[in-house]
Chain A
Amino acid sequence: MTAVNGTNSVEVHGLTRAFGDKTVLDGLDITIREGEFVALLGQSGCGKSTLLRILAGLDGETEGEMAVPRRRSVAFQSPRLMPWLRVWHNVVLGLSGGDRALAERYLAEVGIEEYAGAWPRTLSGGQAQRVSLARALVHEPELLLLDEPFGALDALTRGKAQRLVADLWQRHGCSILLVTHDVEEALLLADRVLVMDDGRIAYEAEVGLRRPRDLGSPDFVALRGELLRRLGVDDASAPSHHREEVTA
């Protein structure tokens, strides 16, 4: 499913964003090919979410060049459903001509069509996150932005949600940028993993492993080790991520 042709879905050059005198993004470059699944890793506070918000169009005070597709959707870290709207209405909110039948089709795709008439408050965290995914997909986005959507889920639910995202990606063929701090999640899902540090992409790795991926395979373990090292989890390599872009 990796880039059939060479067209890019996202092209960003020299993106800079500062809050006051704190520069969060510092001349960042990023490209995402059409239909590519990219995971963005980085320690908390490194600017991953800021980048995602900028790509989503929620933050406009930036410098640099940016080309993104017109149809973009976001699934946030928390589901952010309107508690006063039924589940189905949440899914098609903001969509002209969206009705319950359409909502139910997308809810079925994420496996919870039976909750179409429920109030969001009655859903579990995993279910609410699925509704949030359905809401993102109903716009048939060319670029789907996922901001740590599984972070708050328990391990079992997270595993299911990850498999669901992999399926949805295969089916819809959209480009995905997944922001996460979970190295395994990134390696399970993505074509390419980026590591962000100091407001730039400090490291990137193509994940050439065949899907579905095996957490125990030697290649997987090796990649995971390398990424952890790049993230500074293994202290042996802390100052090594300076500027040079390594492609594995």
Chain B
Amino acid sequence: MYDDFANPWTIRLKWSYLLLVVVALLSPVFYIVYISFNEHGFSARIYEFTFDWYRVVLSDTILVSSLSWTVYLAVTAVAVTIPMALLSAKFYKRSRRKVAFVALMLSPLFVPADIMGSSLLVFFKNLSGAFSWLDSVLGVNWFDGWFDLGFLTALIGQIIYTHPYAFIVILITMSRYRNQQTEAARACGATAWQAFWQVEFPQIRVGVFSSCAFVTILSFNEAVRTALLKGGFDTFSNVLVAQMLNIGMSGESYAMAGIMSIVSITVIGSIIVYTLVRAERLERKARAMAEPVMSI
């Protein structure tokens, strides 16, 4: 909304404040990346550019194996969370008790990491205890090891964490979609799945892909829940937390933090740039679609 009477300098001042906040939120991270390329580390008086810290990190076999766990976890989290978020969004659209449903789906946002992690940890330990008790009662070993802390429990923790975000992003994209199109497809003879895949999905694809990226990044960055629920393995951020707490700020931890930031900035930054570049065109198209011309 424009205001023709507003003082242009006030507007400019407000814009600068907005940009200042964005920069202030980001600059510590950029500073860390900057330090991570200094051979002498933090607070040295001289700055000599080097990749050495990154070389050290990437030659550390523990770190590299933790990186593969991280990727493994992120990929499975995306593979489970996104279809589930699509189901939830579709369910929400049809459901007539929307408030109760959305409260259940979004409340994980409001439960802090350490609290949720502790609750799930104790829950899983009890569950696995209950299953082995069941085994001993029945004299079998069907349930042996179900919900022992490990990859599955860490994955569940991450799904609970990432699902609300994916759900919201997909729901926002879907709010522009008109359900009459699904019905039209059904009237043309499409099954429910065909109508979704051939008519609805192409129109919400952008939202689904960006939620994939969000879930990847959230999973990649997650440390607390995973640390509590992972059992025997370590993810990259788990190792970084341990480093920070035990060794403090070493050149290596700067490099690790640098890797994490660069990955996030690259993935999310490219999505933002892509969105900004395409937004104008999409906007015009969407407007044209939403309001058909009313005359011949």
**Is B one of A's binding partners?**
no
